[in-house]
């Protein structure tokens, strides 16, 4: 039986309206500040047209025919994505325009390996690029790590501070290899440790007699890293060897800040 395709836009049509500046005053559907169930945050206004463009963008990023699970996560967390966009917009003051934007107009993309320790996610230019770097101080070009040690924590994102025109919303993680090595993830936000979360990749990634599926793990709540926030993402492997665990996370920034390399 074919799985029903999920449209982020259609599921969230009820969200399409104008949002006034500062509405709502607090947000509790995502982890923004450790230890706080609801956080008072600055939120810029968002027009009905912008909301429609954001949902259309999420539909494009979902690629629902290839992975309905990822599409479902985006559909269910679309309101938190809107919140993250509004947090960034408080700094840029420019509208969301997606692929049609330029200059300071906002857009969204999946975070890439090259963004680890890059100019958007590391305001201060730290020397280390974390566990996925090619050698000491090297750049990060892929999510492949060849030497996980069982039970030894490694930083997927080393401690760094976002620039003021950037936000990230972490939704989960994926691992395309048949036997994933990473089993847990932990965020540190503004120097405060969040409780670690189990990823459980190996619990549901393969049906008996069927080829392995893409392992997708959803976080209990989205984790939003707002502009100029300091954060670290640490993972813990239960097995030694090579792995390709990568974050299922959206990067929100201006058109002029986005780059191929």
Residue 3 is predicted with a pLDDT of 54
Which residues, 6 or more positions from 235, have their beta carbon under 8 angstroms from its beta carbon? 131, 153, 154, 155, 156, 182, 184, 185, 186, 245
Give the rounded percent of residues in the chain with a pLDDT score beyond 70.
92
Q: Give domain status of residue 98, yes or no.
A: yes
Q: Is the separation of the CB atoms in 115 and 195 below 8 Å?
A: no
Residue 2 is predicted with a pLDDT of 46
What pTM, to 2 d.p., does this model score?
A: 0.93
pLDDT tens-place string over residues 45-92: 999 999 999 999 999 999 877 788 999 999 999 999 999 999 999 999
pLDDT tens-place string over residues 79-102: 999 999 999 999 999 999 999 999
Q: Give domain status of residue 38, yes or no.
A: yes
Q: Give domain status of residue 74, yes or no.
A: yes
Q: Is the separation of the CB atoms in 247 and 197 below 8 Å?
A: no
Q: Give domain status of residue 58, yes or no.
A: yes
Q: Give domain status of residue 3, yes or no.
A: no
- Residue 13, judged by CB atoms within 10 A of its CB (0-12, 13-18, 19+), counts as exposed
Count of alpha carbons within 13 angstroms of residue 89, beta-carbon side = 25
Q: Give domain status of residue 31, yes or no.
A: yes
The total number of structural domains that make up the chain: 1
* Rounded Cα distance, 34 and 11, in Å: 29
Residue 209 is predicted with a pLDDT of 47
Residues constituting the chain: 261
Q: Give domain status of residue 214, yes or no.
A: yes
Element holding 73 (H helix, E strand) = helix 68-76
Q: Is the separation of the CB atoms in 150 and 237 below 8 Å?
A: yes
Residue 130 is predicted with a pLDDT of 81
Residue 208 is predicted with a pLDDT of 47
| pLDDT for residue 207 is more than 60 | no
Range of the domain at 152: 8-257
Residue 1 is predicted with a pLDDT of 36
Q: Give domain status of residue 15, yes or no.
A: yes
| pLDDT for residue 14 is more than 50 | yes
């Amino acid at each position: 039986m074919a799985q029903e395709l999920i449209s982020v836009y259609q599921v969230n049509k009820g969200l399409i309206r104008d949002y006034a500046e500062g509405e709502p005053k607090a947000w509790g559907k995502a982890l923004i500040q450790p230890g706080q169930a609801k956080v008072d945050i600055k939120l810029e206004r968002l027009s009905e047209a912008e909301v429609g463009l954001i949902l259309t963008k999420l539909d494009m990023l979902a690629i629902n025919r290839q992975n309905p699970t990822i599409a479902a996560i985006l559909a269910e967390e679309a309101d938190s994505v809107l919140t993250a966009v509004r947090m960034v917009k408080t700094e840029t003051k420019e509208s969301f325009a997606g692929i049609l934007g330029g200059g300071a107009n906002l857009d969204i993309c999946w975070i890439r390996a090259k963004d680890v320790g890059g100019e958007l996610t590391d305001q201060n230019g730290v020397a280390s690029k974390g566990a996925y770097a090619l050698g000491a101080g090297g750049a990060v070009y892929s999510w492949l790590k060849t030497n996980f040690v069982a039970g030894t924590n490694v930083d997927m994102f080393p401690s760094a501070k976002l620039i003021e025109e950037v936000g990230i919303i972490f939704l989960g993680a994926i691992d395309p290899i048949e036997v994933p090595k990473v089993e847990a993830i932990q965020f540190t936000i503004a120097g405060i440790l969040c409780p670690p979360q189990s990823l459980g990749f190996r619990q549901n990634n393969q049906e008996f007699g069927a080829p392995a599926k893409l392992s997708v793990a959803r976080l209990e709540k989205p984790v939003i890293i707002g502009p100029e926030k300091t954060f670290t993402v640490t993972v813990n492997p239960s097995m030694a060897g090579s792995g390709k665990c990568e974050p299922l996370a959206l990067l929100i920034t201006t058109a002029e800040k986005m780059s191929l390399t």
